[in-house]
A = this chain, B = another copy of it.
Amino acid sequence: MAIEANPAKSRATVSESNRSRILKHLYHNGISSRAQIAKALDLTPAAITKITARLIEAGVIEETGDIEGSKNRRSIGLELDTARFRIIGIKFARSLVQIGVFDLCGNALSLENLPTVYDDTIDDTIAIIHERITQLLADDPSIVAVGMAVPGPYLRNEGRTAVVSSMQGWRRINFIKEFSTAFRVPVFTEQDARAGALAHYLFDPAVHTEANLSYYLLGEGVGLGVIDNGRLINGYLGAATEIGHISIDVNGRSCDCGNVGCLERYCSTPAIHDMLIEDGEVVPGAAAMTHTDAVRALFAKAREGDERAREMIREIGRYVGYGCVTIFNGFNPRHIIIGDIVAEAGPLLLDEVRRTVDERSIPELNETTSITLSTLSADAAVSGAAAVAVTQFLEHPSMFFDVS
């Protein structure tokens, strides 16, 4: 049931909206004739001719050879060449920053990890990011935007993160002030798991036509992005769908956010790292490792058949499963796609997640919801950072090209 308000649209926004609809049609459907576009979008042939002429002039789309039209008539095809435009995607986590260059379909052309970030090296990391972006933009004129994915809760209008449990230093960083006007191309920022949901929506052939999907990020934080009926759930400040701070036990472990029993305190990499340090045996020397290295050592041990390591993964899987049950009852998506470092545990984890969900979820929801591990070639949040910018490119073309 759509109950949207009626924003008073100016004529300029109507033209922009039609430009956007044409670009999205070409993005999702590939080469199409003007007549096909006119029919699909219920626009007049005259309007199509006018708008596409300007997009061709601006170099955004181009004419291809003849294609098969209706009634066997040949007509000229139009194409948005998704390899011609490139996007920088950057994923921020507590201690990890990844930078990649992607085409409009989310294919990674390059991908690099910056040095591990500590509370006292955040300023250095910010300086390196500026440098790398500047260099990439200088080297490649086809880059048209930068997308950034940051840990939630991300206050989108303010440009900063509300709480980053294990690393308060990032809260000082205002992403909008720091980056938005620093480069020759626009910069867009989104909460990381929401970026991951966009990545699957735009780039994942297995689910990209699904209007109800969620990306469940299990890494240095625990996050969630939900696309409900084709739209991201954002909340008033952009802080909705923060599954990591939803309590699964009101008498449980305390969290820096103020809440008690936050899911993040049970199945993020810092929580698993704590578990390994306390255990002391499964991963010897865990205390001296980074969160990621310690967790990967656990997963390696489990793959070697170590029963205690396997039992720990099953315990983590139960908590991940409790989170899935909350996602079922909170958001009722069609797909839950699990990604980030904890997902590297693979089928052993996923089996326990599914067992927990089988026990605790409403049968009708269990029957109709798939739970899978992300199979995107790059991490969904870093390709998702690019997806955030691709979405803007398709939604607001006049920000990127002179189409007047």
Residues of A within 8 A of B (CB): 1-6, 8-11, 13-14, 21, 24-25, 28, 39-42, 153, 155, 162-163, 190, 198, 201, 211-212, 227-243, 245-251, 257-261, 322, 325-326, 328-334, 359-365, 368-369, 388, 391-392, 395
Contact A228 B233 (CB under 8 A): yes
Q: Give A360's nearest chain B residue, CB to CB.
A: B259
Q: Which chain B positions have C-beta within 8 A of A333?
A: 235-236
Bound together, the chains give a CA A392 to CA B9 distance in angstroms of 23
Bound together, the chains give a CA A39 to CA B14 distance in angstroms of 13
Q: Which chain B positions have C-beta within 8 A of A155?
A: 364
Q: Which chain B positions have C-beta within 8 A of A360?
A: 247, 258-260
Bound together, the chains give a CA A328 to CA B153 distance in angstroms of 11
- Which one of B39, B201, B233, B236 lies within 8 Å of A233 (CB-CB)? B233
> With A2-B395, A227-B3, A333-B236 known to touch, is A247 a contact of B362 (CB < 8 Å)?
no
Contact A258 B8 (CB under 8 A): no
Which of A232, A245, A332 has the most chain B CB within a 10 Å cutoff? A332
> With A10-B42, A249-B249, A326-B246 known to touch, is A239 a contact of B4 (CB < 8 Å)?
no
- Which one of B21, B239, B246, B364 lies within 8 Å of A239 (CB-CB)? B364
Q: Which chain B positions have C-beta within 8 A of A163?
A: 362
Contact B234 A330 (CB under 8 A): no
> With A237-B364, A259-B325, A259-B361 known to touch, is A3 a contact of B230 (CB < 8 Å)?
yes
Contact B237 A228 (CB under 8 A): no
- Give me the 5 closest cross-chain CB pairs, A-B, nearest first: A235-B332, A240-B332, A212-B236, A239-B332, A236-B334
In the complex, besides A8-B42, A239-B328, 4 extra interface pairs with C-beta distance below 8 angstroms are A3-B395, A241-B331, A246-B246, A246-B326
Q: Give A235's nearest chain B residue, CB to CB.
A: B332
> With A2-B395, A42-B9 known to touch, is A234 a contact of B230 (CB < 8 Å)?
no
Q: Which chain B positions have C-beta within 8 A of A234?
A: 1, 228-229, 332
What would 23 A/B residue contacts be, using CB atoms closer than 8 Å? Answer: A1-B190, A1-B232, A1-B395, A2-B395, A8-B40, A8-B42, A9-B42, A13-B42, A153-B364, A162-B365, A236-B332, A236-B334, A237-B368, A239-B328, A239-B364, A239-B365, A240-B331, A246-B329, A247-B326, A249-B249, A250-B322, A259-B329, A330-B330
Bound together, the chains give a CA A261 to CA B247 distance in angstroms of 11
- Which one of B1, B21, B362 lies within 8 Å of A258 (CB-CB)? B362
Q: Give A262's nearest chain B residue, CB to CB.
A: B329
